[in-house]
Chains A and B, each alone.
Chain A
Amino acid sequence: MDDLYRSELMEVYKDPTYKGNLTYPSIVLDKTNTFCGDHVHLSLLIEKGVIKDAKFDGEMCFVSIIGADFLLEEIIGKNIEDAKKIDQEKVLKLINLNLTTSRIACATLTLKALQEALDKYEK
């Protein structure tokens, strides 16, 4: 049973690299998973169309924390256009977890927040 998740994921869960809040974010966005009430607070620092830094915080389960941390790792340094190309399939591939349907919503919570944040930023 102790191999429920890969051990490196357990380390990410216990100490996520990108957990926290940015002091001077360009944009922040809050998103709730209606299924379970989980909630992510995403902050992004964008300069000249490039995502310079990103942090997440909130009430989140294991799967949503992993989904957030891997996603932010992926987008930092990318320009907005490339970041917008990241879809659900890409996130699921990044985290490489065997998920049931109900938990895909957990894995992609921060992705949805990111997509909304970028749309909002561009408006």
Chain B
Amino acid sequence: MLDILKIKSNFPIFFNNKKLVYLDSAATSHKPQVVIDRISQFYSSENANVHRGIYDLSERASEAYDAARKKVAMFINAKNSREIIFTKGTTESLNLVAYSYASNVLKKNDEILVSDFEHHSNFLPWQDVCKKTGAILRVLESDKFGRITKNEWQKKLSTKTKIVSIAHASNVFGTISNIKKIAETVHQFGAVLVVDGAQAIPHLKVDVQDLNCDFYAFSGHKMLAPMGIGVLYAKDKLLDLMQPYQLGGGMIESVSMKETLFAQYPEKFEAGTPNVEGAIALDKAIDYLLDIGMDEIREHEIELSKYLLDGLNKISRIKIFGEIGAEGRTGLVSFYVEGVHSHDISDYLSKSGLALRSGFHCAMPLHQSHRCGATLRASYYLYNQKEDLDFLLINLKKAINYYG
């Protein structure tokens, strides 16, 4: 059992906003003091550019940056830290796969397969790559549980499929996909599997070798690290096939007036001064998470999900979006109130101090395919308590009464 009050006291946002009931961790998580302090410490006593100077301060900054890469590799069990590319977030990671890998290998009429519950960041780059290469984007339709049925896979996956890109966990349903099984199937058809891990990595133990995915993309800011740092994991044999799509300093072996020789990966894909503070703060965030324990966090979230699903089910006009139990979802539930607009409910809740998201959660195609308007999404993390959910449930009932 986690001591939530103790954990909460590590997050200064709650001290500085006493009335805040934060249920929007799927959008971004709060940061513990140790992560905030790590950034401050870097700029106060360690600041220098990395891999540039041979003076002491620069060497130390470079070492801290490299150590962060190793920490991430350890966290997701990558074979080698060179398979970790730092980006500014999941969006950039997925764009990197689209432009540095897909654009180079795809031919006309090859197929890319995504699901209908993808975040826009896992749709738009593929739409664009298809326009540029003549490849075809096909969409797997989810059922009411937010799952892709076997039949749907059989219908859409073929030897024409070259890339499958799918969320490890949906940011709307919360449904966790069985990536290991999907990887097996996808590889049988000779395609590569890209995983959008943004909603999974804060909540689940991720082992990229066990999952056997080819790419895994995620952001730091949803897992207690700052905004502006993210990761793309890529299997080394695929990194060999990728061409950088951003060029500049820090990613070259040698440059002459006529020709440039790129550095090896991962530097090859990190042109320009990287987000060093972000990387080392991510390192700290990982320490913090491991210290508490990913299994313990998961257990706590399942308990919260059960409690919330139970409470929501007791309110008659509430409809839960994605009929899946607590074990099958990450720490979030999306729902709507029949007859009342989600933005109106959200307005009411916000006046009571509740922070939760309403809208399409950057997944408009999903709301279209499930014929649903804007939804409300309550998402929680290691610093949330049952009391937060009670407060939500009480105010939801009040809001429903208010709008009549």
Contact = CB atoms under 8 A, between A and B. Distances in A.
A109 B364 CA distance: 19
B12 to A, nearest CB: 25
A61 B341 contact: yes
Interface in B113-153: none
Contacts of A38: 341, 373-374
Contacts of A60: 341
Interface string B316-356: 00000000000000000000000001111001100110000
Contacts of A63: 343-344, 347
Given A1-B398, A60-B341, A36 B360 contact: yes
B359 A35 contact: yes
B364 to A, nearest CB: 7
A13 B402 CA distance: 11
- Interface SS majority for chain A: loop
Closest 10 CB pairs of A and B: A61-B341, A62-B344, A61-B343, A36-B374, A61-B344, A4-B351, A36-B359, A4-B348, A36-B343, A37-B373
Interface in A1-42: 1-2, 4, 13-14, 35-38
Nearest to B343: A61
Contacts of A61: 341, 343-344
Interface string B365-404: 0010000011000000000000000000001001000111
Interface of B: 341-344, 347-348, 351-352, 358-360, 364, 367, 373-374, 395, 398, 402-404
Interface residues of A, number: 16
Given A1-B351, A1-B398, A14 B404 contact: yes
Given A4-B402, A103-B343, 15 more contacts: A1-B348, A1-B402, A4-B347, A4-B351, A35-B359, A36-B358, A37-B373, A37-B374, A38-B341, A38-B373, A38-B374, A59-B341, A59-B373, A61-B343, A106-B343
Interface in A58-73: 59-63
Contacts of B360: 36-37
A37 B367 contact: yes
6 contacts: A4-B347, A4-B351, A35-B359, A37-B360, A60-B341, A61-B343
Nearest to B344: A62
Contacts of A103: 343, 347
Contact of A62 (B347, B358, B364, B373): B347
Contacts of B341: 38, 59-62
Nearest to A61: B341
B386 to A, nearest CB: 22
Interface of A: 1-2, 4, 13-14, 35-38, 59-63, 103, 106
A63 B344 CA distance: 8
A105 to B, nearest CB: 10
B91 to A, nearest CB: 19
Contacts of A59: 341, 373
A112 to B, nearest CB: 17
A37 B364 contact: yes
A72 B385 CA distance: 47
Contacts of B373: 36-38, 59
Nearest to A102: B343
Q: Which of A2, A36, A61 has the most B CB atoms < 10 Å from its CB?
A: A61
A4 to B, nearest CB: 6
B39 to A, nearest CB: 29
